[in-house]
C-alpha cells in the first residue's frame, strides 16, 4: 500500500512555523510522509496568516490554484486550511470553497490526529474552538536538531486597536513551566544548542499560573539546562518589560543580547489611539535602563505607519524616535484594516499613497542606520552559530550572531549547528561577511557545557 503524503505551506510568524512543525509531526505519527511540493501530495495544508488586509483573498486564490493543480494531475487532493485565517473565517471557508475538506485553528492542532480518520473517510470538518489550553506538544518535527522553537504561551489578552491576533489566537494562556523545561531538557539531550521561546507577549508569561513563575523565572530555569547555549525569546511588550526581567536578562549569559521591543509609533497621541499602554518616554526609559545593564544589547522593533488619524507631525515623531533609539533594524508595516478590530471605527483612515510614502521614508532611514551599525562591527571577532550552506551562494556558509544578524563566510558544511569564531570583514545593510578563525574558545565551551553561570560574556572574543 502506498504511504499517504502531505505538503504544508506556512505563512506568517514564527508561531505559525512552530505550529506547522506540530502539524507535520502529528501527520507523520499517523503514517503520512512529507513532500516538498503539492504536486503529488494527497493532503495539502495551508497554514495561514491574517495580519494584513487581503489575507483572506490570498487564501482563496491559493485554494483556486490548488484546485487547478488537482484537475491537471487527475488525482484527488484533500485540502486543509489551518492558522489565523482558518480561525477567523471558520466554516465560511468550507461554504465558499467546496474543495476544502478541513478547517482548523491553532488551538485545535492537538485534535488533528483524532480528526484524520474522519477526514480520510470523506467528511468535511471545522474545528476552531479558541479556548482549549496549549498542551504539552504532542508530536513535533523540527527541521534542525540543533535549534528549536518552543512555544511558552498562546494567545493575547491585549487589544491593540489595529490587531487581529487576539481574535485569531484567543485569550492568553501560559504553559506550565515544568512541561517547558522538560521539553527543553529533551531537546538539549538530543543535541539542541539554541532555543527560541515563543509567545505573542512573552513578557506577561505566567499570568494565571498557580505556581507563580514569571518570564524571568522561566528564563532562569531554562538557562540551567546543560547543553543549551543560546536562548532567544519573542515578542516582548514594552508595558510589561519589567525591572526584574531586565536584571535577569543581564545576569544570564546564555540569553542572546538581542531585544525585540515593538514601539509601533513615536507619537503619544497615536500610541494612545492604538491602546498600547505606554508613552514614548516610558519606552525610552526602558531602553536606557536595559542599555545601562547590557551596554551592547541590540534592539529591534516593529513600527506601523499610517495608523488612522496619524498626522505628518506624528509620523515625524516616529522618524525622530527611530533616529534617537538607533535600532539595529526594524519591521515596518503600513497600517492595514483588519476585521473585528477597534481601529476600523476610528476616523482619519489614510490613503494608500500616504501610507506607502511614509513606509518608504521610514525604511530608507532605517536602512542607513542599519548599514552604519553593521559597518561598526567590521574588524571584530564574533561567535557565530552556523546555520548551513548559504541560500544564495553554495560556496559559503551562513550563520548568526547573538543579535540575530546573518554572517556569510567560507567553511565546511559539516559545521552546521556548531559555534565558530569569525572575523567580520565587510558589511551591507542586509548581512555581514566574515572569515572563519576556528572553533570557539574551548574554555568558554566547557563552562557552557556544564550549564554554569559565569562572568565571561558569551561570544564576544573582541
Ligand atoms: N505580539 C506582537 C506582535 C504581533 S503582530 C507584539 O505585540 O508586538 C506583528 C506586528 O505586525 C505588530 O507588532 C505590528 O507592528 C504589525 N501589525 C499587526 N497588525 C497590523 C495591522 N493591522 N496593520 C499593520 N501592521 C500590523
Ligand atoms: Fe496584537 Fe497587541 Fe497582542 Fe501584539 S500585544 S498580538 S500587537 S494585540
Ligand atoms: Fe499572522 Fe497569526 Fe502570526 S495573524 S503574524 S500567523 S499570529
Whose cell is 474522519? That residue is: 118
Q: Whose CA is nearest to atom 19 of ligand 1?
A: 163
Q: From the centroid of its chain, how far is CA 39?
A: 28
What is the spatial distance between Cα 45 and Cα 26, in angstroms, rounded to a whole number? 12
Phi and psi torsions of 72, nearest 5°: -60, -45
The interaxial angle of helices 112-120 and 14-29, nearest 10 deg, is: 60
The predicted pLDDT at position 2 comes to 59
Beta strands of 28-99 (E only): which ranges?
33-34, 43-48, 78-82
Ligand nearest to the CA of 107: 3
Strands 298-305 and 329-334: parallel
Beta strands of 13-165 (E only): which ranges?
33-34, 43-48, 78-82, 100-104, 125-127, 147-151, 153-154
Counting ligand 1 atoms within 8 A of each CB, the residue from 201, 304, 318 with the most, and so the one to mutate, is 304
Counting ligand 1 atoms within 8 A of each CB, the residue from 333, 338, 344, 352 with the most, and so the one to mutate, is 333
Contact indicator for 407, 434 with CB cutoff of 8 Å: yes
The predicted pLDDT at position 451 comes to 32
- For the chain, first and last CA: distance in Å? 59
Residue-range domains of the chain with CATH: 5-133 (3.40.50.12160), 147-375 (3.80.30.20), 381-444 (2.40.50.140)
Residue list, ligand 1 pocket, CB within 6 Å: 51, 162-163, 165, 200-201, 235, 237, 262, 264, 302, 304, 333, 335-336, 338
Compute the distance from residue 84 Cα to the ligand 3 centre, in Å.
6
Measured from the Cβ of residue 51, the count of other Cβ atoms closer than 10 Å reads 17
Does the beta carbon of 168 sit less than 6 angstroms from any atom of ligand 3? yes
Sequence-ordered list of residues with C-beta below 8 angstroms from that of 340, at least 6 positions apart, any chain: 88, 164, 167
Does the beta carbon of 17 sit less than 6 angstroms from any atom of ligand 3? no
Does the beta carbon of 167 sit less than 6 angstroms from any atom of ligand 3? no
Residue list, ligand 2 pocket, CB within 6 Å: 156, 158-160, 163, 165-166, 200-201, 237
Closest CA to 105 of 223, 22, 189: 22
pTM of the model: 0.93
* Residues 317, 323, 328, 333, Cα dihedral to 10°: 30
Encode burial over 279-299: b for 16+ CB neighbours within 10 A, e otherwise: ebeebbebbeebeeebeebbb
Sequence-ordered list of residues with C-beta below 8 angstroms from that of 327, at least 6 positions apart, any chain: 299, 300, 301, 366, 369, 370
Beta strands of 265-375 (E only): which ranges?
298-305, 329-334
Counting ligand 2 atoms within 8 A of each CB, the residue from 154, 201, 205 with the most, and so the one to mutate, is 201
Cα distances (Å, whole numbers) of residue 42 to 33, 94, 335, 389: 10, 18, 38, 31
| Per-residue pLDDT tens over the stretch 156-186 | 999 999 999 999 999 999 999 999 999 999 9
Series of mean pLDDT values for 10-residue runs along the chain (462 residues) = 85 94 95 95 96 91 95 94 95 94 92 94 92 68 95 94 95 95 96 97 95 97 97 97 98 97 98 98 98 97 98 98 98 96 97 98 98 97 96 93 97 96 97 92 43 28 24
Amino acid at each position: 500500500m502506498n504511504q499517504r503524503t502531505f505538503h504544508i505551506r506556512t505563512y506568517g510568524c514564527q508561531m505559525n512555523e512552530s505550529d506547522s512543525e506540530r502539524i507535520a509531526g502529528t501527520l507523520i505519527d499517523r503514517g503520512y510522509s512529507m513532500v516538498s511540493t503539492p504536486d503529488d501530495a494527497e493532503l495539502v495544508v495551508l497554514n495561514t496568516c491574517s495580519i494584513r488586509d487581503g489575507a483572506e483573498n490570498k487564501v482563496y486564490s491559493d485554494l483556486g490554484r490548488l484546485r487547478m493543480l488537482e484537475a491537471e494531475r487527475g488525482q484527488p487532493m484533500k485540502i486543509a486550511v489551518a492558522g489565523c485565517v482558518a480561525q477567523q473565517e471558520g466554516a465560511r471557508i468550507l461554504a465558499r470553497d467546496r474543495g476544502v475538506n478541513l478547517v482548523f485553528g491553532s488551538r485545535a492542532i492537538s485534535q488533528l490526529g483524532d480528526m484524520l480518520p474522519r477526514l480520510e473517510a470523506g467528511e468535511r470538518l471545522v474545528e476552531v474552538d479558541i479556548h482549549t489550553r496549549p498542551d504539552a506538544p504532542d508530536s513535533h518535527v523540527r527541521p534542525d536538531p540543533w535549534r528549536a522553537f518552543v512555544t511558552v504561551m498562546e494567545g493575547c489578552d491585549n487589544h491593540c486597536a489595529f490587531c487581529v491576533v487576539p481574535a485569531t489566537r484567543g485569550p492568553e494562556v501560559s504553559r506550565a513551566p515544568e512541561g517547558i523545561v522538560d521539553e527543553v531538557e529533551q531537546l538539549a539531550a538530543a543535541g539542541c544548542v539554541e532555543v527560541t521561546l515563543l509567545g505573542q507577549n512573552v513578557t506577561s508569561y505566567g499570568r494565571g499560573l498557580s505556581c507563580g513563575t514569571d518570564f524571568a523565572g522561566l528564563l532562569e530555569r531554562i538557562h540551567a539546562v546543560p547543553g543549551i547555549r543560546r536562548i532567544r525569546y519573542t515578542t516582548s511588550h514594552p508595558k510589561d518589560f519589567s525591572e526584574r526581567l531586565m536584571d535577569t536578562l543581564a545576569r544570564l549569559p546564555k540569553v542572546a543580547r538581542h531585544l525585540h521591543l515593538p514601539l509601533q509609533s513615536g507619537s503619544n497621541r497615536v500610541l494612545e489611539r492604538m491602546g498600547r499602554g505606554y508613552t514614548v518616554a516610558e519606552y525610552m526609559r526602558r531602553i536606557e535602563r536595559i542599555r545601562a545593564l547590557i551596554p551592547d544589547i541590540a534592539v529591534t522593533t516593529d513600527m506601523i505607519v499610517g495608523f488612522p488619524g496619524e498626522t505628518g507631525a506624528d509620523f515625524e515623531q516616529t522618524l525622530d524616535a527611530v533616529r534617537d533609539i538607533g535600532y539595529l533594524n526594524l519591521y515596518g508595516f503600513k497600517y492595514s484594516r483588519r476585521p473585528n478590530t477597534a481601529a476600523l471605527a476610528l476616523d482619519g483612515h489614510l490613503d494608500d499613497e500616504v501610507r506607502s510614502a511614509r513606509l518608504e521614508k521610514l525604511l530608507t532611514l532605517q536602512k542607513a542606520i542599519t548599514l552604519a551599525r553593521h559597518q561598526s562591527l567590521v574588524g571584530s571577532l564574533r561567535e557565530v552559530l552556523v546555520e548551513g550552506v548559504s541560500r544564495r551562494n553554495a560556496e559559503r556558509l551562513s550563520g548568526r550572531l547573538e543579535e540575530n544578524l546573518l554572517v556569510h563566510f567560507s567553511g565546511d558544511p559539516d559545521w552546521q549547528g556548531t559555534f565558530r569564531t569569525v572575523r567580520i570583514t565587510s558589511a551591507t545593510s542586509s548581512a555581514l561577511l566574515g572569515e572563519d578563525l576556528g572553533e570557539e574558545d574551548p574554555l568558554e565551551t566547557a563552562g557552557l557545557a556544564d550549564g554554569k553561570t559565569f562572568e565571561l560574556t558569551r561570544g564576544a572574543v573582541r
